[in-house]
């Protein structure tokens, strides 16, 4: 019987190692204790590798692992994995995204309780200083307090349910879910972010992306109650850390519970100097139970992928360029970009995704639909979405799918059209590829364009009247925003402008553009 070689590059729980060691058709190689240079020799015969954060799956690693078919990242994050390099080599990269869910939920509750009762400081006074002063430690109860939960996904909704068991008043903000997902659980749902800012305690559970980075800053904190408590056990940088420090010092924020930092390790962070913060060193997955789950799931996934049975939680779709026509790959990339763009134009729950194709590319509609789904959901789901689970997650959200072949399409040999229907509107984007790999968006909501799907874009629908371009240009100039390109398409009564800019645009600037008399709608996206 031929055996499949699985190399364990980093330390995982012994339960996972035992599964590998006791599987008859697996040649298990333990390489967690050797240096990373020597590891390059060990992995040359590996069919599958299991790694954690200590091993960089970079170009050197991939060049050495000439037989590698799959790699398992035993955990959630995969910043140390060269995803593009894996895809080019046909290597399937997987992670273990749900094994630490309960651990992260419970750590959030621990920080919440610690902030309310100042538990770490009371503990230190008695244990380290040997001082018994009960009068120093009058805390507050969770009972009756209003909790704002930003992000109602796998972790956020479990935090909300546990908070309800403390008889808290819970409200959630997540524009990418149907409201019934929350209300069916007895959780209040809001589309007004100010409702969250009015809460006694706020906890954030979103992916880290362009929309959520620095989601809570000085402006948002100014709207909060005096004495608010903030919790972040999700991703570093979701709260603006400078604003967090300033407002903890002033007392506007009474306490903060922080497990994650923008830059880690954070041993010199100014938050550590404050007496109204509970901090932990990114311990969201650090329970014995979650480590067992991570190790056993990683081992089981490695065995399945070594046997070629399944690739659970695949993060990429292996593209073997020798087995597909060369023209297909840029269309697949373009389709994902267009869906990603369309989802940013209307930040509300998606109801349906439609992909239509004309020309030879229509033979790859299934692949196009998968990439469109990943692109559309990446805005709201972040790291949770991948090419294997995309349709399952979409179905869980009640999103309908549709694909169609278009027989006549004047002017283009191949053309792909994405239509995303949300609770508020329908967004349609069409694109094609010129000269083998030049990707272009050629239509936006019925307006003809020629735009590269790349960069920072302001999209403004306006009444077709004189002076609009000048007004927008002046407004952006006043805000130190440089325009790199300005594309305008005209319809019967209105026009659509796509304004490419060099700097990110915040909601304040967008609100200013919306006040222009001719403006009908304004959106911002980054691709």
Kindly list the distances between the CA atom of residue 361 and the CA atoms of 196, 326, 334, 365, 370, in Å, as whole numbers in the listed order.
45, 11, 12, 7, 14
Which residues are paired to 217 by β-bridges? none
Which is catalytic among the residues 84, 264, 395, 405? 264
Give the pair of three-digit tokens for residue 376: 């559309």
Give the pair of three-digit tokens for residue 300: 């089981």
Which is catalytic among the residues 13, 235, 269, 461? 235
Establish whether 235 is a catalytic residue.
Answer: yes
Which is catalytic among the residues 282, 300, 384, 443? 282
Establish whether 517 is a catalytic residue.
Answer: no
Helix (H, G, I), strand (E, B) or coil at 200: coil
Helix (H, G, I), strand (E, B) or coil at 261: coil
Q: Which among 93, 97, 73 has a CA at the least distance from the CA of 83?
A: 93
Report the C-alpha gap between 40 and 60 in whole angstroms. Answer: 8
Q: Which among 446, 466, 448, 444 has a CA at the least distance from the CA of 457?
A: 444
CB 364 within 8 A of CB 331: yes
Establish whether 264 is a catalytic residue.
Answer: yes
Place of tokens 């994995």: 81
Report the C-alpha gap between 496 and 449 in whole angstroms. Answer: 10
CB 253 within 8 A of CB 243: no
Report the C-alpha gap between 240 and 485 in whole angstroms. Answer: 30
Give the pair of three-digit tokens for residue 59: 């170009």
Q: Which among 232, 187, 195, 189 has a CA at the least distance from the CA of 212?
A: 232
Place of tokens 């799931």: 297
Q: Which among 74, 70, 72, 71 has a CA at the least distance from the CA of 98?
A: 74
Catalytic residues: 235, 264, 282
């Amino acid at each position: 019987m031929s055996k499949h070689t699985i190399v364990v590059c980093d330390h995982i729980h012994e339960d996972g190692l035992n599964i590998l060691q006791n599987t008859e058709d697996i040649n298990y190689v333990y390489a967690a204790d050797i240096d990373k240079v020597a590891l390059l020799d060990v992995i040359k015969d590996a069919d599958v590798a299991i790694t954690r954060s200590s091993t960089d799956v970079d170009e050197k690693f991939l060049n050495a692992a000439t037989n590698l078919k799959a790699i398992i990242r035993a955990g959630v994050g995969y910043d140390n994995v060269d995803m593009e390099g894996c895809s080019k080599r046909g290597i399937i990269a997987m992670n273990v995204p749900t094994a630490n869910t309960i651990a992260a939920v419970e750590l959030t509750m621990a920080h919440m309780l610690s902030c309310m009762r100042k538990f770490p400081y009371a503990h230190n006074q008695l244990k380290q200083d040997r001082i018994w002063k009960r009068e120093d430690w009058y805390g507050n109860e969770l009972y009756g307090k209003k909790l704002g939960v930003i992000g109602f996904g796998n972790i956020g909704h479990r935090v909300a349910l546990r908070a309800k068991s403390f008889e808290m008043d819970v409200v959630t903000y997540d524009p990418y879910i149907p409201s019934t997902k929350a209300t069916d659980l007895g959780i209040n749902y809001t589309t007004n972010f100010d409702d969250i800012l009015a809460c006694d305690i706020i906890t954030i559970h979103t992916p880290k992306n362009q929309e959520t980075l620095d989601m809570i800053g000085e402006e948002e904190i100014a709207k909060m109650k005096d004495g608010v408590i903030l919790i972040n056990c999700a991703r570093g940088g979701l709260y603006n850390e400078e604003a967090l420090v300033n407002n903890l010092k002033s007392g506007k924020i009474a306490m903060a519970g922080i497990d994650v930092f923008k830059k880690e390790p954070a041993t010199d962070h100014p938050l550590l100097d404050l007496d109204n913060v509970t901090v932990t060193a990114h311990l969201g997955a650090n329970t014995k139970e979650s480590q067992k789950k991570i190790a056993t799931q990683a081992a089981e996934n490695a065995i399945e992928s070594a046997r070629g049975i399944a690739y659970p939680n695949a993060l990429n779709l292996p593209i073997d360029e020798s087995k597909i026509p060369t023209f297909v790959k840029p269309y697949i990339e373009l389709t994902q970009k267009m869906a990603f763009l369309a989802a940013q134009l209307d930040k509300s729950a998606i109801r349906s995704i439609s992909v239509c194709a004309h020309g030879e590319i229509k033979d790859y509609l299934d692949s196009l639909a998968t990439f469109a789904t990943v692109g559309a959901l990446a805005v709201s789901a972040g790291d949770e979405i991948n090419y294997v689970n995309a349709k399952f997650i979409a179905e869980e959200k009640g999103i309908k799918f549709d694909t169609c072949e278009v027989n006549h399409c004047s002017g283009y040999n191949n053309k792909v059209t994405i239509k995303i229907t949300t609770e508020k509107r329908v967004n349609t984007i069409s694109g094609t590829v010129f000269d083998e790999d030049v990707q272009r968006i050629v239509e936006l909501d019925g307006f003809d364009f020629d735009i590269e799907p790349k960069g920072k874009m302001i999209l403004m629908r306006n009444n077709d009247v004189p002076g609009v371009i000048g007004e927008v240009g002046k407004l952006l100039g006043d805000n130190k925003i440089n325009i790199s390109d300005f594309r305008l398409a005209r319809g019967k009564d209105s026009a659509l402008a796509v304004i490419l800019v060099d700097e990110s645009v915040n909601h304040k600037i967008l609100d200013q553009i919306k006040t222009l008399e001719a403006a009908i709608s304004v959106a911002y996206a980054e691709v």
